[in-house]
Amino acid sequence: MEDNEEVGEEYLFKIVLIGDSAVGKSNLLSRFARNEFDTNSKATIGVEFQTQVVEIEGKEVKAQIWDTAGQERFRAVTSAYYRGAVGALVVYDISRRTTFDSIKRWLEELTIHCDTTVARMLVGNKCDLENIREVSIEEGKSLAEEEGLFFMETSALDSTNVQTAFEIVIREIYNNISRKVL
Ligand code: GDP
Ligand code: MG
């Protein structure tokens, strides 16, 4: 199926989750799509996606959100994973600086594989781990400003901002398309 295509009265947007292993990508998706959190989530190999329906301006928007499901451990996220994506959540773990240091590399990969108009959100996950924080909110904000990204700190564990982060990206994609149509 073509991404970013109008299906009857509906819209279908492909959104990818990227970022280092164990930053919480799978849990962000399960929290958003099923309101579930899995403390023992093992990285399974192979690409998976989930479709979530969101209503914007009375229109049904389907967000097809792709999860790397472990590919990133081998630095082997394929171009098929990125193909047709119109949105991306680029995730790090606020309690592990190395995952923040990797963000530039993930952004480069996104640039190689996706259109420049892809809606991008920088996500600092695990904000519930304040006591072992290694990356400040200010650092996250300033990187986002520098790179022209939306920014949000989230917690898949306690649900903080998870819904909002996905919805901002979905809304931005919708707005991009509406602008094109006009
Ligand atoms: P992925 O490899 O990026 O898909 O990361 P996972 O979703 O598998 O999560 C990796 C580990 O971090 C798991 O043990 C999760 O339980 C934990 N985790 C994920 N999100 C959060 C969060 O928001 N807060 C905390 N404290 N732990 C989290
Ligand atoms: Mg995963």
Please tell me the predicted confidence (pLDDT) of residue 6.
Answer: 47
Tell whether ligand 1 has an atom less than 6 A from the beta carbon of residue 129. yes
The ligand with the least distance to the CA atom of 44 is: 2
The whole-number pLDDT of residue 46 equals 57
What pTM was estimated for this model as a whole?
Answer: 0.91
Q: Which residues of the chain, if any, have pLDDT below 70?
A: 1-9, 40-47, 75, 180-182
Q: Report the alpha-carbon distance of residue 125 to residue 155 in Å, rounded.
A: 5
E strands in 32-173 = 48-56, 59-67, 87-93, 119-125, 150-153
| Ligand 1 atom 7: residue of nearest CA | 24
Q: What H or E segment, with its residue span, contains residue 162? A: helix 162-181
* 118 touches ligand 1 (CB under 6 Å): no
ipTM higher than 0.90?
A: yes
Which residues face 67 on adjacent strands?
Answer: 48
pLDDT tens digits for range 78-90: 888 999 999 999 9
Total Cβ atoms within 10 A of residue 90: 25
